[in-house]
Amino acid sequence: MDLIFATRNRHKFEEVREMASVYGIKLKMYRGPREEIQSDKLEEIAKHSAIVACTALKRPCFAEDAGLFVKALHGFPGPYSSYAFKTIGNDGLLKLMAGEGNRGAEFRSAIAYCEPGSRPVVFSGNVRGYIASARRGSGGFGFDPIFIPIGGDGRTFAEMSIDEKNKFSHRAKAFEKFLKWYIQRKKA
Amino acid sequence: MDLIFATRNRHKFEEVREMASVYGIKLKMYRGPREEIQSDKLEEIAKHSAIVACTALKRPCFAEDAGLFVKALHGFPGPYSSYAFKTIGNDGLLKLMAGEGNRGAEFRSAIAYCEPGSRPVVFSGNVRGYIASARRGSGGFGFDPIFIPIGGDGRTFAEMSIDEKNKFSHRAKAFEKFLKWYIQRKKA
C-alpha cells in the first residue's frame, strides 16, 4: 500500500517512513510546488498544503506543518519556525532566551490528509519540553538541538535516534493518529 | 475618486491616506478576510492578498505587504515581521542584535493593485537604515521605534510624524509609484 507525503523536508520524511512501514505502508515523497498560506494556525497551513498537492497530483496525499512555540517568547517562532531557523537559527533563539527563567516550550505538528474532491482531515500532535541552555547533538533538524522533551532523560531531540525521538515527538503523535485512522478506513 | 486599500492595519492606512488625497483620491479601508500565503517574497504575499480582496469585493483594490530585513540576521524577520513583532517585539530584536557590529537593515514594501478579471500589478519601495541601540519614539507602529533611516537626522521612524516618515519610507515610495501609475492610467 502506497501513501504520498507532500514535503520538501527529507528529515520529516525519514521520521515517519519507518512508522508507516510497520503498518505495511510504503511512503513516497512528493516535492510539489511550495505554496503555503501565512497563518498563525498550523492546521490551516497543513490543510492548504495538502489541498495544493492533492490538486496537482490528482491523488490522495498528506502534508504536515510543525512549529516550536516558546512560552516566554509568546509563541515565537511558532508557524514561522522554518524561516526563523534559516535566519537566526538555534543561536538566535538561545540569545532571545538569555536570562529567561521560564524555558518552557512546545513542538506542535498538524498533518492534513486530502483526497481529490474531498475536504482535508487533520490530525495534531504536540510535545512539551524546554529550551536547553546550549546546542547539543547533531541528529534531527531545525531546533532539535535545543529542545529537551519532558519525560526524557535530559537529552535534546538532536541527541536521539529517529526511533527515540519518535517516542516523544509531536510529529510521531500526529502521524500515529493519522495512520490508525487511515488503516481503519481502508479496512472498512 | 475612490480607491480601496485592503488592510487590517489602521497605521498603514493613515500613512498613505494623506498621500492619496493630494491627488484627489479618497482612500477607503477594507478589512477583508485575512488570508496570506506564506512566502519569502513580499510581492507574492501582496499579490495574493490583492487577489483575495478583489475577488471578495468584486471591485478594484490594492493590498500591501512589508517587512524589516536585518542584514546580520540574514533577513530576519523579513516577510514574517508582523508575527515577530507580536511575539518577541522590539525588545526581542534588540536582544538578537546585542553585540552585533553590523546594524544595517532595510524596510521593504510591496503594493499590489488588482482589478476583477485582471492579474495584479506590483510596485515596490525600500528604505535602508540601521537598527538603533534602544527603542525611541512613540509614533508609527511595529519596528518603527528601532529603525533609523539613512539620510535622516538620526531619529527613528517612531520619532517622526507621518509626513516626515513618508519622506523616507518604503511604503511611501511604493505608494508613490503606484499612485503615479494609477493617475496616468485613469487619464489615458
Residues B122-157: pLDDT tens digits?
999 999 999 999 999 999 999 999 999 999 999 999
Q: Is A33 on the interface with B (CB under 8 A)?
A: no
Catalytic residue flag (residue A65): yes
Residues A108-134: pLDDT tens digits?
999 999 999 999 999 999 999 999 999
Residues A126-170: pLDDT tens digits?
999 999 999 999 999 999 999 999 999 999 999 999 999 999 999
For residue A32, the model assigns a pLDDT of: 78
Q: How confident is residue B185, by pLDDT bands cut at 50, 70 and 90? A: confident
Q: Which residues on B lie below 8 Å from A78 (Cβ)?
A: 83, 87
Q: Is B37 on the interface with A (CB under 8 A)?
A: yes
Q: What would be the CATH architecture of the domain defined by B2-187? A: Alpha-Beta Complex (3.90)
Question: Does A40 score more than 80 pLDDT?
Answer: no
* Prediction ipTM score: 0.78
Secondary structure (DSSP) of chain A: -EEEEE-S-HHHHHHHHHHHHHTT-EEEEE-----EEE-S-HHHHHHHHHHHHHHHHTS-EEEEEEEEEEGGGTTEEETTHHHHHHHTHHHHHHHHTTT-S--EEEEEEEEEEE-TTS--EEEEEEEEEEE-SS---SSSSTTGGGEEETTSSS--GGGS-HHHHHHH-HHHHHHHHHHHHHHHHHH-
Question: CA of A74: which chain B residue's CA is closest?
Answer: B87
Question: Does A20 score more than 90 pLDDT?
Answer: yes
CA distance A65 to chain B (A): 12
Contact between B5 and B60 under an 8 Å Cβ cutoff? The reply is: no
